[in-house]
């Protein structure tokens, strides 16, 4: 731990805690800590920019020493840089997910598979709930279809597909082939759906 705060020079100890790699004391961190946290944790560029501007104003108009100001501004710049990269990845993944192709077959019409990445799986376990159970009992008694259970299965299957696609994107793929589903009944009111598929990269055929 640093013996003195880089911003004010006061001793850092049990009664005057430290922040930012033990460089800044409680008193100096308090006025700007909220802005730094918002910059570091937000995934909205407008929120980041607003908090960054307020942070810079606070630091520049403060009584911190020049070395402390420079240190704090470097910390904020690093947070912005890291978050911009994370936001760009998030935007890219969202775009990939919107155009992601999934099939139970082993190919796509008018597309060529240029690379195989391996297997991706996504699993979801859902409780059916007391109302679904009552609906199922009534359906069993009258011999009719249970829409409540069907809705639960659709919900679990959609969730499993989304998880599988997320994993496929992280592997570098833009499509899934040979997709299959396994259904598991854990207890009388718990159902699981596992989606499996082969992650591939495809390109549209020009001819």
58-62, 144-148, 158-162: segment of lowest average pLDDT: 144-148
- Of 149, 157, 202, 163, residue with least CA distance to 180: 157
Considering the chain, what is the average pLDDT of its residues? 86
d(CA 38, CA 34): 6
Per-residue pLDDT of 171-201, as tens digits, reads 999 999 999 999 888 766 778 899 999 999 9
**In this predicted structure, what is the pLDDT of residue 115?**
96
Q: Give the residue, 63 or 152, on which the prediction is more confident.
A: 63
**What predicted TM-score, i.e. pTM, was given to this entire model?**
0.57
**In this predicted structure, what is the pLDDT of residue 141?**
40
Confidence grade of residue 140 (pLDDT, cut at 50, 70, 90): very low
Range 49-74 average pLDDT: 95
Task: Evaluate whether 103 touches 42 at the Cβ level (below 8 Å).
Answer: no
The proportion of the chain whose per-residue pLDDT surpasses 90, expressed as a percent, equals 58
Range 127-152 average pLDDT: 53
**In this predicted structure, what is the pLDDT of residue 152?**
79
- Of 77, 30, 21, residue with least CA distance to 53: 77
Per-residue pLDDT of 81-136, as tens digits, reads 988 888 888 888 888 888 899 999 999 999 999 999 999 999 998 876 543 444 44
d(CA 37, CA 39): 5
**In this predicted structure, what is the pLDDT of residue 2?**
57
d(CA 59, CA 6): 13
């Amino acid at each position: 731990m640093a013996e003195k705060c880089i911003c004010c020079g006061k001793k850092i100890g049990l009664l005057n805690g430290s922040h930012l790699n033990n460089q800044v004391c409680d008193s100096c961190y308090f006025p700007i800590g909220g802005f730094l946290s918002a910059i570091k944790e937000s995934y909205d560029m407008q929120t980041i920019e607003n908090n960054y501007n307020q942070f810079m104003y606070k630091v520049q108009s403060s009584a911190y020493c020049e070395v402390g100001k420079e240190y704090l501004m470097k910390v904020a710049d690093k947070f912005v840089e890291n978050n911009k990269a994370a936001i760009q990845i998030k935007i890219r993944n969202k775009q990939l997910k919107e155009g992601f192709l999934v099939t139970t077959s082993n190919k796509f019409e008018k597309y060529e598979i240029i690379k195989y990445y391996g297997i991706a799986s996504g699993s979801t376990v859902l409780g059916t709930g007391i109302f679904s159970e009552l609906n199922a009992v009534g359906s069993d008694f009258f011999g009719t279809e249970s829409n409540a259970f069907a809705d639960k299965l659709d919900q679990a299957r959609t969730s499993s597909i989304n998880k599988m696609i997320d994993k496929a994107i992280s592997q570098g793929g833009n499509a899934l082939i040979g997709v299959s589903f396994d259904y598991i009944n854990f207890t009388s009111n718990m159902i699981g759906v596992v989606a499996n598929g082969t992650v591939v990269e495809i390109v549209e055929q020009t001819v």
